[in-house]
Structure 1
């Protein structure tokens, strides 16, 4: 019985569910009793399969079945090695690799054209090594390229040993369409598999980073044992797991952000985001959009963006330098806190949020309220729990412990593992007043660690204004000989320290501000005030 050949375009129409018309009075049929619905289902199943291993298994099984053959093999191209490899070969579990230029497979891959061999071992290009590896004897075969949507070959499909007769052009037409759909499905599944692996890896890395971050902020890891530090630790332990908002006060550099992070990472919200924003670092016009977000189209070229409040949903929002926030932004923040809803700039609908607020300030907010610079209702809304971070000059007994801790940490980073302080150097650190608090101490330890030439940081490695109290003695003499007001004396000291910091940092104001233990904006104000 004569069978009619279905060419690829018509076969594609068949797979797509399009009815075939009679051509020249002859009705086209499908080879081997395979009808339209079976081919269409095979294509659908391939597209639905997301697991790459299951998909490859399905392809070789079904390609052998629809061609009435003993076996099928699928070889994918490894571009880096210029090899074919088989993860699945029907009837075997062995992974096979061979050079992509070898055999009929290599020829099909190079030319992009299907090859039919009625007697495999009579073909000059046939490579018998695969048979030797698998123990299978190839008699007849059809080898087809697997091409993606860009018509680029990604591998080859071989169907082996027709159970009755030899492979025909009719088999070729059906298998070519099957192979083209298989190639697309393989690429999609491989991409999904790669994305899933990347997602899993990112989740694992994120979990590790969270655990590391959390480990840095255990309450028991707070350095110091003075009564005032112990009081801070006890307060954080008490309120960490509560839903209460927290207000942290203290001078610049006293560790307010550290206390905020410890409050978060020791709470039930520790797996959720900790989002921070410095209210003093952003202009008023930008601060509101950063906090509340903005809708697309508010201004030309503006895209929709989540604000910090939304980003902190489920976790903690840390508002640093709260006292610098404008009254307008304070009003919007108060509304968001009361309603637990946030309204993006330019939006008509509010978004529900579940956040805990931890705010920090180096200002006396009650005094700011009296001046009309801060809202009283917002103050009492945030000041549910108040934590005060003491200045370093009130923690003198903790200074040696803190200095040694910073030295150990910095020594590890710069490869100086044996660094230690001389007793004289440590005493000079303990006797200094530290106007920049813990941040200034940390920066001084960093500087001394780099400047010292040996393993021992001596008194000469400490900055002169810290190690040498002569300036303070001279200051007293100056006051006696040439009386000055307290304000004038403070100004003179500030000017001297700012000049020293700028000289040490090569004029870098951001680094100088950190060295002095004040904000960059605070430094700019002082430079402008003193005309430096």
Structure 2
């Protein structure tokens, strides 16, 4: 096959790839450059093809460029974050994987595959600034709702065990591990432990580990050091911002496994090192970690390191689901009734017996958060009749009880197709029940919101 045929094949393949691809020869001249790369670097393909690397990207320095490192030192790079300016001065942040092409000991070309994370980088910078201003003891007190044990109610025996353990935890500085389903009040417990304890005048910061892209979480937690990548600045992470206080790591099982290992080292040695930094920074931070699935299952699934769990599980608190403490439902409903009467300026002072019965019969996959939402809806739509009746109660109507599904067997049976149909129907039912609210549907299905969004895309389901 002639050389030009190979080049044509490579060119067409590059067009099909969803990520940016840039190939230079041994002189640094651009030979292949796909439309995706042009889009993420905010240039035209013609601005790069046939031009030397330095002419296309004059801002890029030798020591910072993954492409030049591959070309000049024959060093491959995988998954490195890189910030730089394009030919027009536009700043871009990408995650790059770059490999040299070596023939007979000589580097003849370099290939770079890149993913644009400019917007994610900006989001993380904004998030860090918000986190930094969110909780400073003597300053922005109005920016965060502070909960204490006075805000927690429950007379159920199992719930009181959890509450008593939390009260004892407030008296010391040990790490705390809280397990409870979505909506059971894990952050309520965490804040109460902090604000009723010895660290109450120090910062309380919270980070949901599932809400941040894995590639950014390390920098958010540990901070960054100037020079770790182009455009990087010396910036405190959450550990430094929370120094002397408490850091809540929500959904810690969503943290990448290798980052869990780094967290374990921090807990053992009481110091952190910023991303790209060489200096060990001593810290004094209490860690409270939460999960919404049984920890033993998360460990078995490889989502939670066993050694990290043991290190965090000094104080173990298990918050029972609302369906396991039905005796608390009437009083909780009354408290929410008082709250939303005041908010909506209503005068609905009582729950009818039939409403109480109906509330106690429901299973609450969303737990206390779902009960509060039901009462909020009822009060907001109710009339000032002093008694909340069933006509005001918008209880979920789709039954979640297991029911048999008919299978039409025709001699052939595609299990994957059938399971997909079942999953599609269940998702549609949940969306119907919640009026198309993805977050609430995810709670009903007991999966993460991101997982549900992925399944909506997978099955081509629309909301609304």
The interval holding the TM-score normalised by the smaller chain is 0.5 to 0.7
**Partner in structure 1 of residue 277 of structure 2:** 347
Give the drift of 1:492: 4.5
Partner of 2:433, secondary structure, is: helix
**Partner in structure 2 of residue 439 of structure 1:** 369
Give the drift of 1:299: 2.8
Higher helix proportion (structure 1 or 2): 1
User: Is 1:497 aligned with 2:430?
Assistant: yes
Give the drift of 1:517: 7.3
Distance in 1, matches of 2:274 and 2:336, equals 42
**Which of 338, 343, 350 does residue 408 from structure 1 map onto?**
338
Partner of 1:294, secondary structure, is: coil
1:145-294 matched pairs, under 5 angstroms: 216-217=147-148, 219-294=149-224
Distance 1:489 1:464, change over 3 A: farther
Give the drift of 1:206: 5.3
**Partner in structure 2 of residue 62 of structure 1:** none
Give the drift of 1:519: 4.1
**Partner in structure 1 of residue 389 of structure 2:** 458
**Partner in structure 1 of residue 355 of structure 2:** 425
Distance in 2, matches of 1:336 and 1:481, equals 53
Give the drift of 1:511: 6.4
Name the Cα RMSD after superposition.
3.2
Q: Deviations over 1:7-34 (max 9, x none)?
A: xxxxxxxxxxxxxxxxxxxxxxxxxxxx
Q: Is the 8 A contact 2:330 2:356 kept in 1?
A: yes
**Which of 223, 231, 244 does residue 314 from structure 1 map onto?**
244
Distance 1:452 1:213, change over 3 A: closer
**Partner in structure 1 of residue 453 of structure 2:** 524
Partner of 1:443, secondary structure, is: helix
Distance in 1, matches of 2:155 and 2:333, equals 14
Distance 1:458 1:489, change over 3 A: farther
Distance 1:274 1:417, change over 3 A: farther
Q: Is the 8 A contact 2:179 2:295 kept in 1?
A: no
1:2-13 matched pairs, under 5 angstroms: none
Distance 1:443 1:348, change over 3 A: same
Distance in 2, matches of 1:500 and 1:256, equals 25
Give the drift of 1:229: 1.4
Distance in 2, matches of 1:492 and 1:342, equals 47
Distance 1:203 1:433, change over 3 A: closer
Contiguous gaps of at least 5 residues in structure 2: 1-135, 410-417
Distance 1:244 1:437, change over 3 A: same
Distance 1:522 1:392, change over 3 A: farther
**Partner in structure 2 of residue 383 of structure 1:** 313
Q: Deviations over 1:174-195 (max 9, x none)?
A: xxxxxxxxxxxxxxxxxxxxxx
Q: Deviations over 1:378-418 (max 9, x none)?
A: 11111111100111100101011111111211221222244
Q: Is the 8 A contact 1:253 1:517 kept in 2?
A: no
Distance in 2, matches of 1:379 and 1:529, equals 33
Task: Give the total of aligned pairs.
Answer: 317
User: Given the two structures, how large is their TM-score scaled by the length of structure 2?
Assistant: 0.61
Contiguous gaps of at least 5 residues in structure 1: 1-201
Q: Deviations over 1:416-450 (max 9, x none)?
A: 24454222222211110001111111111122222
Q: Is the 8 A contact 1:276 1:318 kept in 2?
A: yes
Q: Is the 8 A contact 2:347 2:384 kept in 1?
A: no
Give the drift of 1:366: 2.5
Q: Deviations over 1:20-70 (max 9, x none)?
A: xxxxxxxxxxxxxxxxxxxxxxxxxxxxxxxxxxxxxxxxxxxxxxxxxxx
Partner of 1:465, secondary structure, is: coil
Distance 1:417 1:235, change over 3 A: same
